[in-house]
Amino acid sequence: MYLSREEMHFDFRGARFELASSEDRKLLGWVFNQFLYGEVTGIQCGYWLFRAPHLNAAAFLAKQAGEEMSHVKRILRILNLLHESASLPHPAIKFLSTGMMGGSWGEHVALEMALGEGLVLHVFYAMEQTIDDPEIKKILRSAFEEEESHVRFGETETKAWLEKHPTDRNHLLTQAWIQVVALRFLKRFVLKKLLANSTRSGGHPVLSQFGEFYDHVIRNFETRIQRLGLSSVPVSKISLMGGIARLFLLPWYKFRSRFIWKHKPLTGSYLEDPVVLKEALRTSAQPVREL
């Protein structure tokens, strides 16, 4: 990955949630319900499987769809262990998960996979570090290993997309900028939500570090944007006027992406696919066998 586990790691200095506390269970229930919605959006894999640009991408998406649906069951299991019920996510989570759904393959792999699932990884790591329940830890470890593969795929495909379509860089950067703005807006709500639910004297050992953790996540998000090749400077360095100017151009970018970046479906292009061509070369190099 363009960001290692070590870079994404945040040191909570041994702080833990107390699962014996109904307050902590309710709080974690809210957090995992945000995850639950994000994993259910894994059905979008079907949309992109139909529109996969090559056979290797189709094979990966078919595997990913099964993994995302298994994550839904795992999170439901975690909610059960916490004695919490499934509930609706915050509207900002809906926006980041489905409102930002890509209109092109480049948008999907850059914004949803490399950047979006990179965000999810940070929280998975944090939850695994701050929850002592062995079953929950096991579920989280298995989930984030799969999420890491999704991020790596998104990074690789983003690089290939930008090499083929370098003019799409500004469009992708504009949408990444919008995600950063949304995350900063969401921070105020999340801090208020989490701290309002904590009545522990002296402050909650985990939540008292949440603001610092959130800033760490956003910094890494901006770093990943740079390492993806979308921007040469941190997104935070883009001026407000520059961001607004980009925003006004977004409808044009979105309209253009619906038509310019279209490609043949695999049913019409599979014979020219690298996987098929490689096999054809291997077959032609072999001596003819008598039947």
Domain segments of the chain as ranges: 18-198+215-283
Cβ(7)–Cβ(151) below 8 Å: no
Is the pLDDT reported for residue 288 higher than 90?
A: no
289: left (phi over 0), alpha (psi -120 to 50) or beta: beta
Over residues 36-47, the pLDDT tens digits come to 998 888 888 888
pLDDT band at 122 (very low <50, low <70, confident <90, very high): very high
What pLDDT was estimated at residue 76?
A: 96
Distance CA 24, CA 16 (A): 10
Alpha helix (H) residue ranges in 99-209: 105-107, 117-130, 134-164, 169-196
Q: Across residues 163-180, what is the average pLDDT?
A: 88
Q: What does the mean pLDDT of the chain come to?
A: 86
pLDDT band at 138 (very low <50, low <70, confident <90, very high): very high
Cβ(36)–Cβ(72) below 8 Å: yes
* pTM, full prediction: 0.85
pLDDT band at 154 (very low <50, low <70, confident <90, very high): very high
Handedness of CA 190, 193, 196, 201 (dihedral sign): negative
Burial (CB count <10 Å: 0-12, 13-18, 19+), residue 15: middle
Q: Across residues 24-40, what is the average pLDDT?
A: 91
Q: Across residues 186-196, what is the average pLDDT?
A: 74
Distance CA 279, CA 291 (A): 21
Structure tokens at 178: 């919008």
Type of residue numbered 81: L
Cβ(94)–Cβ(37) below 8 Å: yes
- Residue % of the chain over a pLDDT of 90: 50
18-198+215-283 fold:
Ferritin (1.20.1260)
Is the pLDDT reported for residue 174 higher than 70?
A: yes
